[in-house]
Amino acid sequence: MKKIILILLLFMLTLPVSAKKYIRDFSTVINDSGVDIESIAISIKDTSNGKAVYELNEKMLMNPASVQKLLTTPVIVETLGEDYSFNTELYLREDNSYLLKLAGDPYLTTSDLKKLIGEVSKDTESFYIDDRILDKKTWGEGWQWDDDLNVLMPRFGAYNLDKNLIKLTLIPEPNGQFAKIINPSKYPMAFFNNVVTSDKTDISLSRDNSISPNTLMLSGTIARPTTVYIPNVNIKRYFEVQLTRLFEDRGIYMKNPYMPSVKKSDDVLKNHISHDIKFAINDILKNSNNLVSETLFKLAGAKYCNLETGTDVSGIKMFNDYCVNNKLDNSRIKITDASGVSKNNLVSADFITDFLVLNKSNKVLESLPAPGEGTLTHRMLTIKDNLKAKTGTLSDISSIAGYVTSRSGKKYAFSIMINDLNLSESDKKMLEDFIIREAYLRL
């Protein structure tokens, strides 16, 4: 890190204003930074004409991580429409039974469910669920098994509820005893509890799927009440547990709960809960929400392919057809999800900047974070009025792409991807920040 800091400081002091000299010296500082030159790809293009002003390994295929969201989100919104909303609906049937039509709403909560079923009468014996909106595949292709407990990568599907996370509260007990574990959701879980009361809080979690995916191992120490969140491995089961608990709170015990069914033409709408796509766009681009991104990708794919059920395959077709229709050469790239979590995604820096040039006036990309917002909260604050960008981070991978308006007033699309095993994450991001700041100063 010290080497990178020194080189960048010296470069900023000596870099001339000449654009041609800038490009030559720009390559020199990247070579001298210590980054593996075969592990970094850069493309910077003038948005007014699409011409490249700087390129390095721009055709090389690399994993873009969450930068992929700035590629898929505009296509999703174009397909679904800016007025799209997630609508979870409750219907009454002639036999005094009810049907819940799911929307795959990633913002649906147990409190929302409570409001929805407030219309259900106490003598109801049957309750149906129409879950055709999304397929049964609840994790992405190429997602890493060791991210099983990563709250940023939960399962997703028609039964999205409470962000698909289980909330646990750990309470310290006196005299160094094991902590008390409170599971308010009542979702059945078994715990190997080795968390003891101490003067500091340091808790680690693990899950051994060979025993049971609902068996959690907790260890460490606790000094004060602490809340932890666990990704839910069975979102359908969690959804049904919450429904049962809410019904029982109202004294409703049904003989035939949660049977699959299809909404009928004579079903009568009794209640609904809606959430607007505008919140989702902001959440995806500013906060890099994977759950929302993947859900919308499948929903948009279903609409594009005129299907009842959304799948990742239909979402990928939607994206690839968008590229073909807009003359973007996608013949070499590969995307397998919407969010960029999959290690199977392969994109070039050149493709990303071509996409950004094409979409330079797209309102959706106005939601990209500026410095001080979202994933750029602590980065490049000195140029906060001149930068909009999406970041990406996976193991050994760091990336950033977006728009920078230079000090001269010209707007550039840029993409930087670094996949260097020997550079720390902070070093990679420092190099990214330097490249972007210099583009702002010198172009």
- pLDDT digit string (tens) for 230-246? 999 999 999 999 999 99
Query: For residue 57, what is the DSSP state?
Result: S
On average, the pLDDT of the chain sits at: 90
Tell me what pLDDT residue 262 has: 96
| Burial (CB count <10 Å: 0-12, 13-18, 19+), residue 169 | middle
Tell me what pLDDT residue 328 has: 96
- pLDDT digit string (tens) for 91-122? 999 888 999 999 999 999 999 999 999 989 99
Once rounded to an integer, what is the mean pLDDT over residues 379-398? 92
Query: Nearest CA to 388 among 409, 414, 410?
Result: 414
- pLDDT digit string (tens) for 164-180? 999 999 999 887 788 99
Kindly list the domain boundaries of the chain, sorted by start residue. Answer: 2-80+279-442
- The contacts of residue 111 (CB under 8 Å, 6+ apart) are none
Instruction: Count Cβ atoms below 10 Å from residue 198 Cβ, excluding itself.
Output: 14
Parallel, antiparallel, or unpaired for β 98-101 and 126-130? parallel
Extract the tokens encoding 46. Answer: 């003038």
Q: Which of 18-27, 189-198, 375-384 has the lowest mean pLDDT?
A: 18-27
Span between the terminal Cα atoms of the chain, in Å: 26
Q: Which of 45-49, 55-59, 262-266, 394-398 has the lowest mean pLDDT?
A: 394-398
Residue 390, pLDDT > 80, answer yes
Tell me what pLDDT residue 424 has: 85
**Distance between CA atoms of 443 and 439, rounded to whole angstroms?**
5
Tell me what pLDDT residue 11 has: 45
Domain 2-80+279-442: CATH superfamily, name plus number = DD-peptidase/beta-lactamase superfamily (3.40.710.10)
- pLDDT digit string (tens) for 309-364? 999 999 999 999 999 999 999 999 999 999 999 999 999 999 999 999 999 999 99
Extract the tokens encoding 267. Answer: 């079903």
What letters, b where the CB count within 10 A reaches 16 and e where it falls short, cover 304-338? bbeeebbbbbbbbebbbebbeeeebebeebebbbb
Tell me what pLDDT residue 286 has: 95
Residue 284, pLDDT > 70, answer yes
Specify the amino acid at residue 299: L
- pLDDT digit string (tens) for 197-216? 988 999 999 887 777 778 88
Q: What is the pTM of this model?
A: 0.91
| Burial (CB count <10 Å: 0-12, 13-18, 19+), residue 120 | buried
Instruction: Count Cβ atoms below 10 Å from residue 180 Cβ, excluding itself.
Output: 15
Residue 16, pLDDT > 50, answer no
Q: What is the DSSP string of 13-50?
A: HH--S-HHHHHHHHHHHHHHTT--GGGEEEEEEETTT-
The torsion defined by the Cα of 230, 231, 233 and 236, in degrees rounded to 10, comes to 100
Per this entry, what is the length of the chain? 443
